[in-house]
Amino acid sequence: MTIYSKIIGTGSFLPPNRVTNQELAAQLASNGIETSDEWIVSRSGISARHYADAGVQSSDLAVEAAKRALDMAKLGVNDVDLIILATSTPDFFGGFPSTACVVQRKLGITNDCAAVDVQAVCSGFVYAVSIADNFIKAGTHKNVLVIGAEVFSRIIDFEDRTTCVLFGDGAGAVLMTASQEPGVLATKLHANGNYGDILCLPGKVNKGVVEGSAFLYMDGPAVFKMAVSVLDKVAHEALEIAGMDSSEVDWIIPHQANIRIMQSTAKKLGLGMDKMIVTVDQHGNTSAASIPMALDVGVRDGRIQPGQNVMMEGVGGGFTWGAVLARM
């Protein structure tokens, strides 16, 4: 009997502080930084993003998203036997204890379930789903909580207009369970460390002191080029593994970084934008959280229906990229 991993619950959470392009432009102008709603929308498709208040951590956003996914899955917290959390903005500098362990504690899980963080930047969620899929198929774990959670507002330099307008905070979660019905149909992951320096946080810690910048650095045009060159290819690889054609994809949910990258991917796959869940306009780029948040939006507004095929695709720092093809 084939065991599949299946997504049976989704959840997302945005911190309440919503900042529009106009509001951000006004804040930046007070520091002598010039930008405009027109520039941000035309280059990225972003109109607004959410920022967590001071003291609110990735784990706090993750817990809210996880509770919603568990509610939809009709499972209790102690039914979870593995937590995999993707983040580049862990609660603790250095990443330990892991944010997954913090989430386990804050959810009140008392069964000592395994919990681990995954670092693949904006591809983190597809990496985490792929790992969960393999644990479930191996038969070692049954109910896996997979979360993407970020507070990118903490690592963006509000004096760098080329990056600060693009990112936001949020969390998304899915509950994946062992099922006899097809769920995840194919996964494909890639990385190329030679491109690590085009999107990174270059600072290093030495004897308690940060050497170099503790802010995100991005070579925007290089990242743009890389993203558009890999996203359709990896989707085709996942389709080939599943023995399917792009015409069988009901919804495509790419990492929500830039509407122009997303439009190019849809075109290369021969799919219309009406097949794509788009949240980048309202969320900005929330890194590992962007795909599960968009998935949750599509599930809760009724566009994504049970039995439909969803292609999720991530791309980000490392450089990393990957795709997950799943039947809902």
Ligand X SMILES: CC(C)(COP(=O)(O)OP(=O)(O)OC[C@H]1O[C@@H](n2cnc3c(N)ncnc32)[C@H](O)[C@@H]1OP(=O)(O)O)[C@@H](O)C(=O)NCCC(=O)NCCS
**Residue in the structure block whose two tokens are 């670092």:** 119
- Compute the least distance from the CB of residue 49 to ligand X, in Å: 13
- Given 255, 258, 283, 309, the catalytic residue: 255
* Pick 183 or 316: Cβ nearer ligand X: 316
Reply yes or no on whether 255 is catalytic.
Answer: yes
Catalytic residue among 21, 50, 113, 122: 122
Compute CA 73 distance to the chain's CA centroid, rounded to the nearest angstrom.
20
Chain residues 260-289 in contact with ligand X, contact rule CB under 6 A:
261, 285
Q: Clarify whether 17 is annotated catalytic.
A: no
Distance CA 297, CA 309 (A): 16
99 is a contact residue toward ligand X (CB under 6 A) = no
Q: How far is the CB of 26 from ligand X (least distance, A)?
A: 13
The yes or no reply on residue 124 touching ligand X (CB under 6 A) is: no
Contact between 232 and 265 under an 8 Å Cβ cutoff? The reply is yes
- Minimal CA–CA distance to 262: which of 311, 326, 303? 311
Residues within window 56-75 making contact with ligand X, judged by CB under 6 A: none
Q: Confirm or reject binding of residue 51 to ligand X (CB under 6 A).
A: no
285 catalytic? Reply is yes
Catalytic residue ranges: 122, 255, 285
Query: Which residues of the chain form contacts with ligand X (CB under 6 A)?
Result: 35, 39-40, 43-44, 122, 161-162, 165, 218, 220-221, 223-224, 227, 257-258, 261, 285, 315-316
